């Protein structure tokens, strides 16, 4: 049985249909960074442990370092570039909240944190500190200690959805 080693595919990334020719065994992380120029997606651990490469596929957090590109064909994918990268334009409320709450230091984990946060905020469930921490359980930050990140997500949720319960500390 003959198998092609490369395929022309149409990816739905950040609301735009984009044609790309990808080797069949290529990872979504490499396609996004090297073929589509979406450099917000970071490679950290290569082992599905750090969450730096988190993107949204069909609205759900997925790790681009262990997602094959051919599995994302025909499914909407989102990276941080879908929020706002134009420095002259207004930032997304989530980005504003990260800036306002000093939720980044080196910034390497921030794109993954933002996408995990966006997924939980857009799920329209009532957020508590515990549920925010559970949503971030796959995202490692070695700088901030998470306090400002959790605070920023609660802040963004309040401004975007008007709901955030202060209670419910982590179990």
Instruction: List interacting residues with other proteins (CB under 8 A).
Output: 1, 3, 5, 23-25, 27, 46-48, 51, 54, 57, 60-63, 65-68, 70-71, 116, 119-120, 134-135, 137-139
Nearest distance, CB of residue 26 and other proteins, angstroms: 8
Looking at the Cβ atoms of 3 and 90, the one nearer to other proteins is 3
Rounded CA-CA distance 152/115 in Å is 13
Residue 114 Cβ vs other proteins, minimum distance, rounded to whole Å: 14
Nearest approach in angstroms of CB 42 to other proteins is 14
Contacts of 116 (CB under 8 A, 6+ apart): 51, 54, 61, 135, 136, 138, 139
Strand, helix or coil for residue 77: strand
Is the CB of 45 or the CB of 99 nearer to other proteins?
45
Picking from 50, 8, 7, 46, the residue whose alpha carbon sits closest to that of residue 29 is 46
């Amino acid at each position: 049985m003959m198998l092609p080693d490369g395929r022309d595919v149409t990816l739905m990334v950040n609301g735009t249909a984009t044609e790309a020719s990808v080797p069949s065994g290529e990872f979504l992380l490499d396609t996004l960074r090297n073929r589509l120029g979406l450099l917000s997606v970071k490679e950290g651990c290569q082992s599905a442990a750090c969450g730096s490469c988190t993107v949204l596929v069909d609205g759900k957090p997925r790790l681009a370092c262990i997602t094959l590109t051919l599995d994302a064909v025909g499914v909407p994918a989102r990276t941080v570039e879908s929020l706002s990268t134009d420095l002259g334009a207004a930032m997304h409320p989530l980005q504003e909240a990260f800036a306002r709450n000093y939720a980044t230091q080196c910034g390497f984990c921030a794109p993954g944190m933002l996408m995990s946060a966006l997924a939980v905020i857009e799920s329209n469930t009532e957020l508590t500190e515990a549920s925010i921490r559970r949503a971030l359980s796959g995202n490692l930050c070695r700088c901030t200690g998470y306090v400002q990140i959790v605070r920023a997500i609660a802040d963004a949720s309040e401004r975007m959805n008007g709901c955030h319960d202060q209670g419910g500390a982590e179990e």
